[in-house]
């Protein structure tokens, strides 16, 4: 079987959706379906069943898909080893990045790193921090940039700490927040738990959430346009001095903060590309970017 076939099968196994798999692989759906049919003919078994909103793998398909995942992993490892043997900083660096970091920090960091190491390519996956934690735990990426504290026994570097705050388009008193319109946004469970814990320690009423959006950047724009206040990390609203901002405090008077980390495995530092990138990040004031 060709490498592209393993890649196709592993992607289908992850997405369980032909349309999504075709988009990731930059293939048309008919091309992907044809290649899948050829694979089934080659092995003489049915690999998956099509359903209304995706596919499910047969027991034979499950076995072959898991084999495909292992094959791709071994292929990546040997390619990395060969690049490393050349004693050069080259190849593909796989990075998982939380959403805010991906939008506001990662492009600048990659541009600066590329200036010193032009032969490096990047494979960047973005999403919530919980997903980036899963990716680094499974060795699907070399490095993850993660907001919040997750269970991790390997290497991690603290990049910065930021206050959680109230951002409002108008002057306000903290005791009035339950009656004021609030803009809320979908975020990872750790951030949501932190905010809810603070809220119900200070108020008996539920917040007056009148707009719910998907992304923190959309939430910020709603606040800027005078539609309500929001509870978010300070760096999100730092470029907007026109907003009224107040930090949240714990009962002992300390501000509530959230940390951003770089997670990585100790053994990946044996790769020139990972070692160079980690050392590069350690020299940068990431918060100031």
- The 8-class DSSP code of residue 89 comes to S
Are residues 67 and 254 in contact, defined by beta-carbon separation less than 8 angstroms? no
Q: CA-CA distance, 68 to 144, in Å (whole number)?
A: 24
- For 95-113, what is each residue's pLDDT tens digit? 999 999 999 999 999 999 9
| Alpha helices, DSSP H, located in the chain | 3-15, 18-25, 29-43, 59-85, 99-104, 106-116, 129-137, 189-202, 216-224, 234-237, 272-282
- For 120-139, what is each residue's pLDDT tens digit? 999 999 999 999 999 999 99
Task: Note if the pTM is more than 0.85.
Answer: no
Confidence label for 83 from pLDDT (cuts 50, 70 and 90): low
Find the helix or strand (DSSP H, E) in which 213 lies: strand 209-213
Rounded to 5°, angle at Cα 265 from 262 and 148? 35
Q: CA-CA distance, 244 to 167, in Å (whole number)?
A: 6
In the structure encoding, which two tokens stand for residue 283, read together? 């020299």
Find the helix or strand (DSSP H, E) in which 58 lies: none
Q: Provide DSSP, 121-190.
A: EEEEEEE-HHHHHHHHHTTSSSEEEEES-----SEEEEEEEEEEEEEESS---GGGGGGS-EEEE---HH
Nearest to 191 by CA among 126, 157, 146: 146
- For 144-185, what is each residue's pLDDT tens digit? 999 999 999 999 999 999 999 999 999 999 999 999 999 999
């Amino acid at each position: 079987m060709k490498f592209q076939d393993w890649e196709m099968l592993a992607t289908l196994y992850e997405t369980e959706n032909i349309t999504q798999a075709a988009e990731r692989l930059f293939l048309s759906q008919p091309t992907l379906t044809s290649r899948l049919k050829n694979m089934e003919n080659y092995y003489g078994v049915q690999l998956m069943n099509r359903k209304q909103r995706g596919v499910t793998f047969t027991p034979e398909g499950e076995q072959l898909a898991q084999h495909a995942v292992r094959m791709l992993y071994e292929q990546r490892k040997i390619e990395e080893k060969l690049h490393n043997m050349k004693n050069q900083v080259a190849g593909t660096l796989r990075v998982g990045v939380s959403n805010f970091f991906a939008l506001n920090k990662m492009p600048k960091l990659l541009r600066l790193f590329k200036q010193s190491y032009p032969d490096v390519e990047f494979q960047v996956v973005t999403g919530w921090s919980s997903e980036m934690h899963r990716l680094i735990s499974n060795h699907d990426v070399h490095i993850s940039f993660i907001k919040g504290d997750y269970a991790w026994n390997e290497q991690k570097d603290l990049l910065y700490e930021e206050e959680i705050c109230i951002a409002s388009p108008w002057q306000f008193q903290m005791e009035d927040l339950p009656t004021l319109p609030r803009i809320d946004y979908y975020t990872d469970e750790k951030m949501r738990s932190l905010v809810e814990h603070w809220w119900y320690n200070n108020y008996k009423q539920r917040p007056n959430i009148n707009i719910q959006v998907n992304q923190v950047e959309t939430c910020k724009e709603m606040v800027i346009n005078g539609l309500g206040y929001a509870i978010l990390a300070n760096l999100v609203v730092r470029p907007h001095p026109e907003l009224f901002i107040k930090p949240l405090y714990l009962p002992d008077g300390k501000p509530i903060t959230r940390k951003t980390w770089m997670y990585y495995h100790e053994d990946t530092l044996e790769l020139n590309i990972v070692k160079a990138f980690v050392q590069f990040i350690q020299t940068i004031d990431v918060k100031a970017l």
